[in-house]
Amino acid sequence: DRPLPTISLIDMRRETTWTDGLAETLSQPLVERLGQHVAAGGQVILFLNRRGFSTVLLCSKCGEVARCDHCDVSLTYHRPDHSLRCHHCDLRRPTPEFCPQCEGTEIFLRGAGTQKVEAELAERLPHVRVLRMDRDTTRRRGAHVHLLRDFVEKKADLLLGTQMVAKGLDFPSVTLVGIVSADTALTLPDFRASERAFQLLTQVSGRAGRGESPGEVVIQTYNPEHFSILCAIRQNYEEFFSQEMAQRRELPYPPFAHLVNLIISDEDEAVAAGSARRAAQAVIAAAGTNAGQTEVVGPAPCPLARLRGRWRHHFLVRDASRARLTAVLTEALGKLTPEDRSRLTVDVDAVTLL
């Protein structure tokens, strides 16, 4: 059996450096390890689960952020065609030269995606041959196969990618895996955020040291004390499971309760909000004397409040008994008007709360 890779943590609160007012995405210790592994003949996988160049275009004068017209998200800057894109509805527009709100010209990019990391690598490690693998570079049929073949044939030293490089790949020459930001998954407003972070860190770390040479994993984070990150470093699933289950039992979240996310959407925000209130009231009424066991949380705007031109409100219903929960929802939804039902999506055992 091959030994597990050694895993080290870089506290970005101490290691972040600034150039022209912008934070470097890669810490100096990680850059040094990248160079050392490549010089020794190894290959490297660098993981960042965010494509594009920068995630926010910001006016420093009035604070205006470029946002999608159809979704409640900021637009991502893509460098190759100098465009702003929405990664939810694929809206695209040229990057403005001045702020459309105040006409100021001091517009800055904030946040980092794979394109920015690629540019930073070219500047700081110009001798390292880089392949970038994300949705933008694999749109054409067979593109991902071509990229992976080039990496296997050692036509590149470093494979930079999003979640598509996290699992299922076996490269014996990869001796180092660098995780640019362990915090991306933790920022999601979802009770499974810690689980997803632990899972992703564990999966990505498993790409290192699959050949004869020992593997190394370097993780950058602004949350070095977070238990999911510490458990991933220690490769201790039992400890993670124990802490995660204690938190879910207290709230309670699955597996200690069954959870249904009811999402109401409409092109008119007031209509969506009204339908959500009526649906929630119908569930509360159907729960009746079970109100202490069938819990309704909300309604409220979804974390992603607008998507593809439709406003979204939701509420959660949870109960320890699936049979009781099913009976309550069946009765409540049967009393809604056809118009309200047409706006409703019922997500049983919801995978995401966005």
CATH number assigned to the domain comprising residue 176 = 3.40.50.300
Cis amide leading into 299 (omega within 30): yes
271: domain CATH number is 3.30.70.360
Strands 258-266 and 344-348: antiparallel
| Residue 78 within any structural domain of the chain | no
Rounded Cα gap, residues 323 and 345, in angstroms: 20
240 and 275 both lie in a single domain: no
Rounded Cα gap, residues 157 and 345, in angstroms: 46
| Residue 131 within any structural domain of the chain | yes
**Segment 21-30 long-range contacts (CB within 8 Å, at least 24 positions apart):** 21/108, 22/108, 22/109, 24/120, 25/112, 25/116, 25/117, 25/120, 25/180, 26/117, 26/120, 26/121, 26/124, 26/178, 26/180, 26/220, 27/220, 29/218, 30/178, 30/218, 30/220
pLDDT tens digit at each of 354 positions of the chain: 666 778 889 998 887 766 554 567 899 999 999 999 999 999 999 999 887 777 778 887 888 888 888 888 888 888 778 888 888 888 898 888 888 888 888 887 777 788 889 989 999 999 999 999 888 888 888 888 899 899 989 999 999 988 878 776 778 888 999 999 888 878 777 888 899 889 888 888 777 766 677 788 999 988 899 999 999 888 899 999 999 999 999 888 899 999 999 999 999 999 999 999 999 999 999 998 776 789 998 899 998 899 999 999 999 999 999 999 999 999 999 999 999 988 999 999 887 787
194 and 216 both lie in a single domain: yes
Domain boundary among 224, 246, 268: 246
208 and 147 both lie in a single domain: yes
Q: What pLDDT was estimated at residue 349?
A: 86
| Residue 71 within any structural domain of the chain | no
> Which of 250, 228, 249 lies closest to 239 in space, CA to CA?
228
**Segment 71-77 long-range contacts (CB within 8 Å, at least 24 positions apart):** 71/304, 71/306, 71/307, 71/308, 71/309, 72/304, 72/305, 72/306, 72/307, 73/304, 76/51, 76/52, 76/113, 77/52, 77/53, 77/109
190 and 212 both lie in a single domain: yes
219 and 137 both lie in a single domain: yes
228 and 327 both lie in a single domain: no
265 and 237 both lie in a single domain: no
| Residue 79 within any structural domain of the chain | no
Q: What pLDDT was estimated at residue 126?
A: 94
| Residue 106 within any structural domain of the chain | no
Entry pTM: 0.81
Domain boundary among 211, 246, 281: 246
| Residue 189 within any structural domain of the chain | yes
Say which DSSP state 54 is in.
Answer: B
Rounded Cα gap, residues 48 and 27, in angstroms: 14
Question: CB 95: neighbour CB atoms within 10 A?
Answer: 16
168 and 129 both lie in a single domain: yes
138 and 165 both lie in a single domain: yes
Domain boundary among 197, 214, 246: 246
179 and 240 both lie in a single domain: yes
State which residues form the domain around 38.
6-53+112-246
328 and 238 both lie in a single domain: no
Q: Structurally, how many domains does the chain consist of?
A: 2
| Residue 60 within any structural domain of the chain | no
